[in-house]
Structure 1
Amino acid sequence: MNFFENFWDVLWWLFVFYAIVAFLYAVFMVIGDLFRDNELSGWWKAVWIVLLVFIPFLTVLAYMIARGKGMAERSMARARKSQQETDAYIRSVATESPTEEIAKAKALMDAGTISAEEFAQIKSKIVV
């Protein structure tokens, strides 16, 4: 065998591998979307799953054509909700600004809760 025969065999193998991975990704996207869709009844979900088992390629193609827009909308809504939850969590655990922390330490020192040395320590840690 020469180099070019091996090259085309390898290229064909890579193409087939890519096609299988892409198809499996599409199948799992459809299955995930089916279970996330609250508007679709359980019977229709079961029909789609049965069709996916028996005629997978045509079912994935039909699902993408028939329900692709809704699939994209549900995906965007899920991403927005996830982003909002992440932002809310970050806001809840974020530290205060250095100015606010120094003001609180100053109020504690004025109240006599901490000494001037402790206030200086807190201030030096915050300013660094």
Structure 2
Amino acid sequence: MTVHSKAGWLIFVILVPFLGVFVYVIARGRGMGKREVKRAQRNEEEFRSYVRQSAGSGSQAEELSRLAELKNCGEITEAEFQQAENKVLTA
């Protein structure tokens, strides 16, 4: 084999997988985006449902304590904590 044919095979072996991935993303990308949006909406609804359930029982101090514990454990972010805390305090 000559150097040119080896270089040609090398380019072919490297570019074909990238071309395949590129074609796949173009063909299926819209569906992937839709699934990601649905997943994000489902996660948001589950979080809101959890906050409603948590905020619906006990005193404000107990609810704030539970929220702080969730934040400290890393179960919810600071922004989610602030949002839930505002709901508890305004309820």
Whether TM-score is above 0.5 comes out as: no
State the TM-score, normalizing by the size of structure 1: 0.33
State the TM-score, normalizing by the size of structure 2: 0.44
> Relative contact order, CA 8 A, sep 6+: which one is greater?
2
